[in-house]
Amino acid sequence: MDKQLAQLKFRDPARARALGEALNRVTQEIGRDPISVMHVCGSHEQAIARYGLRATFPRTLNVIMGPGCPVCITDVPEVDEGVALALAGVRVATYGDMLKVPGTKRSLADARADGGRIDIVYSIAQAVDLARDTDEEIVFFATGFETTAVATAAEILRGLPKNLSILSAHKYIPPVMEIVSEMPGSRVEGFLAAGHAATITGSAVFEPFAARHKLPVVVAGFEPLDILAGLLALLEQIRDRKHDVQNLFPRCVNREGNLVAQDKLWRVFEPQGGRWRGIAHIPNGNLRLREEFANVDARKRFKIDIKSLWEDAPSQLTQHCICGDIMSGIAAPKDCPLFGKACIPDSPVGACMVSSEGTCRIWHQYGGVPDLREEQR
């Protein structure tokens, strides 16, 4: 009984159909073609692709994945910093997804093949454990959005082992929404905000953005029905010319967010402008360690020479990668001539094919789902 109930609630076909019909009705009432909305979360894209939701969307509804994959937007020089450290003999610990992300000339995987020591960890706590077991210097290459940066901050505040330092490539999502919505060619009419990042920041963080850009923002969960309900709320706002922040994910998100986590996050990090790979310079989009934590900042502890990695021009193939345009919402993976041919998960050309949260990787894995919608057109 329990299990049956769970399945019913989870993918109740009647509710899904009702939501689908409502989506159809509202898109017709809006009457534009296409109506483009953006989500900024790899897990949303996974769910959309995995459950074949695009095939059920109204034909005029275009749901784009924006810069919601922290691995994909880690900039090339940031990867170069990790590579340079590894090649200089420093042990680098990082999340597994980072390994194949291309730098200017080499990825961390290439650095490892050249003798660099790279440790894969699932969490900063595991990097701490590694450091406790040795006298060698270890650098934790810290990537991820605010949700992940909170863990880095908490561990730093607790006190790191002397031989552990942090190379922060952490990113902060709210500012990038501003930039992407202002991009020339952007027709994004509303945002589906990432549920778990909003667990930390709270939904209120989007209020100034929604007011300034007159764009609605809906915080939504990850189940198929959550996503359909989130899209419906977004489209209703577009139809009614509203631009409110709505929270449809109250089980994980409230208005003010997790204040304990925010306090730790901002005590350790400060926002700084920086490039997001392939997209643009994002003012306040990078999380950098505050001056008080210079003693654990790998950029201060080591002289990181990335210039020597730049002597050769980047390979021809990488220049064809259009990840940036995909994450900005002006192109789709099928627009890339390398997609599924020269660029596949085993030998990725661009960062979006590396991570389980990258658009190209997700479309490659669950292929056929997006195409179905194409055929209907």
Partner 1 sequence: MCLGVPGKILSISTEGDRADVDFFGVRREVRLDVVDEPVSVGDYVLNHVGFAIRRIPESEIGVTLELYEELIRRADENDLMTADVRGEMNAARKASDG
Out of ligand SF4, partner 1, none, what residue 322 binds, judged by CB under 5 to 8 A for its kind, is ligand SF4
Evaluate whether 153 touches 269 at the Cβ level (below 8 Å): yes
Q: Cα–Cα distance between 299 and 55 in angstroms, integer?
A: 47
Whichever of 277 and 288 has its CB closer to ligand SF4, that residue is 277
Q: How far is the CB of 330 from ligand SF4 (least distance, A)?
A: 12
321: contact with ligand SF4 by CB under 6 A: yes
Alpha-helix runs per DSSP H in 206-322 = 207-213, 224-239, 259-268, 298-301, 316-319
**Residue least distant from ligand SF4 (Cβ):** 350
* Phi, psi (rounded to 5 degrees) for 285: -85, -15
Query: Crossing angle, helix 13-30 and helix 224-239, to 10 degrees?
Result: 20
Q: How far is the CB of 375 from ligand SF4 (least distance, A)?
A: 21
Contact range with partner 1 by CB under 8 A, out of 151-159, 235-243, 278-286, 290-298: 151-159
Interface residue with ligand SF4 among 51, 191, 269, 339 (CB under 6 A) is 339
Q: Considering the rule CB under 8 A, would residue 9 count as an interface residue with partner 1? A: yes
- Chosen residue from 148, 165, 203, 237 binding partner 1 by CB under 8 A: 148
Residues 6+ apart with CB under 8 A from 247: 198, 203, 218, 219, 253, 254, 255
Is residue 365 at the binding interface for partner 1, with CB under 8 A as the rule?
yes
Number of Cβ within a 10 Å radius of residue 157:
13
Alpha-helix runs per DSSP H in 223-354: 224-239, 259-268, 298-301, 316-319, 323-327
Indicate the residue type of 37.
V
Site for ligand SF4 contains 350 (CB under 6 A):
yes
Q: Which of residues 263-282 bind partner 1 (CB under 8 A)?
A: 264
CB 160 within 8 A of CB 128: yes
Beta strand 280-289 with 269-276 is antiparallel
Query: Furthest-apart CA pair in the chain: how many Å?
Result: 66
Residue 349 near ligand SF4 by CB under 6 A: yes
Among 353, 355, 370, 373, binds ligand SF4 (CB under 6 A): 353
Binding pattern to partner 1, positions 324-343, x when CB under 8 A?
--------------------
Size, binding site for ligand SF4 by CB under 6 A: 14
- Taking CB under 6 A as the criterion, the residue among 48, 99, 229, 323 binding ligand SF4 is 323
163 close to 138: Cβ distance less than 8 angstroms: yes
What's the min distance (Å) between Cβ of 259 and partner 1?
7
321/333 Cα distance (integer angstroms): 10
Output the smallest distance, CB 3 to partner 1, in A: 8
Those residues with Cβ within 8 angstroms of residue 340's Cβ, 6 or more apart along the chain or in another chain: 364, 367
Given the rule CB under 6 A, which of 134-142, 192-200, 251-259, 347-355 is the region that contacts ligand SF4? Answer: 347-355
Round to whole Å and give the CA distance between 5 and 336: 43
Q: Which token pair is 224? A: 């198929």
Secondary structure of residue 118 in the 3-state scheme: strand
Q: Which of residues 357, 360, 369, 373 is near partner 1 by CB under 8 A?
A: 357
Residues of the shown chain interacting with ligand SF4 in the complex, contacts defined by CB under 6 A: 321-323, 326, 333, 336, 338-339, 343, 349-350, 352-353, 360
List of residues contacting partner 1 (CB under 8 A): 6-7, 9-10, 41-44, 46-47, 50, 68, 70-71, 95-97, 122-126, 144-145, 147-148, 150-151, 154, 157-158, 194-197, 199-200, 222-223, 250-252, 258-261, 264, 356-357, 361-362, 365-366
